[in-house]
Amino acid sequence: TKTIILKHRPEGKPKSSDFEFIDEELADLKSGEIQLKLKYVSVDPYLRGRMRDEKSYMPPFELDAPIASMVVAEVIETKNDDFKKGDVVTGMLPWKKEQISDGKNLTKIDDKNVPLTAYLGVLGLTGLTAYLGFTEIGKPKKGETLVVSGAAGAVGSIVGQLGKIMGCHVAGIAGTDAKVEKLKSKFGFDAGINYKTTENMRKAIAETCKDGVDIYFDNVGGEISDAVLYNINKFMRTINCGAIATYNETSVPRGVSVRPFLIKNSALMQGFIVSNYEAKFDEARKQLGKYLKEGKLTHEETIKEGFENIPEAFMGLFEGENTGKMVVKI
Ligand code: NDP
């Protein structure tokens, strides 16, 4: 079966030659096992971190071994009583077109209420990250101003909508005019800024957030975040969710250059890793499902087609090729 392995640890931006396609023989199905065929594969910025040989909250990928991410797969053969042929499951699995599994850590899903891809996005780790980061660290209050970076992406587009549901004034930062337009027309943000065409981000944020910034949901880090942090209010909270602007840097990223502003404003800045909040996943998923059902929350996916395009889809994240969740349909 077709398999994608990590051939080289990327230097700077990941490139095609960092990945290799190999053919692996499938073992015979043993008692208690199921055979799965991939249907959808999630590609995520955090996978870039696992391609480094560094200690982090998840172990690094090994060289010459398959890369893994969250997927949706179909059971095509079964010798496990818990699964029948045609069942659809989601879980963290390697990038192998077909594979054998013992069925552990897989969750059965269906497309009765939402498309299957939603389990990789709004009802998966993406939605949980948005909801738990925003509520647990952001602690939003009605009338406050929220700024979201990476706003048109998977996590960001949900955070902005949650901000509106919870009564905040919401501004988003994204990389194209079309994305900025969509923030307002589809996701209900009050304002948007294109960081690629705006010369003075600090000023643009001041103009967009007339009452200052109370909550900053940070998906990108780097200079964009410094510009936001120049505009903060007393007791503001930053959710340090991601720093995609620095993931491909080859030197150690610089520290926050706005420390005096944090001190002056008694601001809180907290790192966030979704897996630390596992105890709240059920509650968060329930709430997200409720918002979806009530039509208060919408979600979008950018879907690329073909197993052979998984690396390309992943690399596309660093070029802003996606709006909403980037998913590969197999
Ligand atoms: P996105 O859907 O947001 O995809 C990445 C987006 O980032 C791109 O579409 C692009 O949009 C933007 N981007 C790429 N390069 C840069 C850059 N140099 N500067 C600014 N923006 C850039 O991904 P996710 O929603 O899945 O993830 C968002 C962030 O959240 C990531 O940093 C990720 O690592 C983090 N994350 C953290 C989790 C946690 O537990 N802490 C869990 C899940 C995600 P544009 O066109 O606007 O540039």
220 lines ligand 1 (CB under 6 A): yes
Q: Which two tokens stand for residue 49?
A: 């971190």
Closest atom of ligand 1 to CA, residue 274: 40
Report the pLDDT value the prediction gives residue 203, as an integer from 0 to 100: 98
Distance CA 93, CA 330 (A): 14
Distance CA 285, CA 291 (A): 10
Q: How do residues 5-19 score in pLDDT, each as one tens digit?
A: 999 999 999 999 999
Band (pLDDT 50/70/90 cuts) for residue 257 is confident
Report the pLDDT value the prediction gives residue 291, as an integer from 0 to 100: 98
Band (pLDDT 50/70/90 cuts) for residue 256 is low
Q: Is the per-residue pLDDT at 255 higher than 90?
A: no
Report the pLDDT value the prediction gives residue 4, as an integer from 0 to 100: 98
- Of all protein residues, the one whose alpha carbon is nearest to atom 19 of ligand 1 is 245
Ligand 1 pocket mutation pick from 56, 155, 315 by most atoms within 8 angstroms of CB: 155
Question: Is this prediction's ipTM beyond 0.95?
Answer: yes
**Which of these, 163, 132, 150, 143, lies nearest to 225 by C-alpha position?**
150
Q: How do residues 258-267 score in pLDDT, each as one tens digit?
A: 888 899 999 9
- pLDDT above 70 as % of the chain: 99
SS3 content of the chain, % helix, strand, coil (to 5): 30, 30, 40
Domain ranges for the chain, please list them: 2-121+299-329, 128-275
Residue 270 CA to ligand 1 center (angstroms) comes to: 17
Q: Could you tell me which CATH class the domain 2-121+299-329 is placed in?
A: alpha beta
Q: 239 to each of 191, 217, 320, how far by Cα in Å? A: 20, 5, 21
Distance CA 101, CA 257 (A): 48
Mean of the per-residue pLDDT values of the chain: 97
pTM tops 0.95:
yes
Report the pLDDT value the prediction gives residue 325, as an integer from 0 to 100: 98
Q: What is the CATH number of domain 128-275?
A: 3.40.50.720
Distance CA 63, CA 93 (A): 17
Distance CA 175, CA 326 (A): 16
Closest atom of ligand 1 to CA, residue 44: 26
Residue 65 CA to ligand 1 center (angstroms) comes to: 25
Ligand 1 pocket mutation pick from 187, 219, 299, 328 by most atoms within 8 angstroms of CB: 219
Report the pLDDT value the prediction gives residue 251, as an integer from 0 to 100: 86
Q: How do residues 190-201 score in pLDDT, each as one tens digit?
A: 999 999 999 999
Q: How do residues 273-324 score in pLDDT, each as one tens digit?
A: 999 999 999 999 999 999 999 999 999 999 999 999 999 999 999 999 999 9
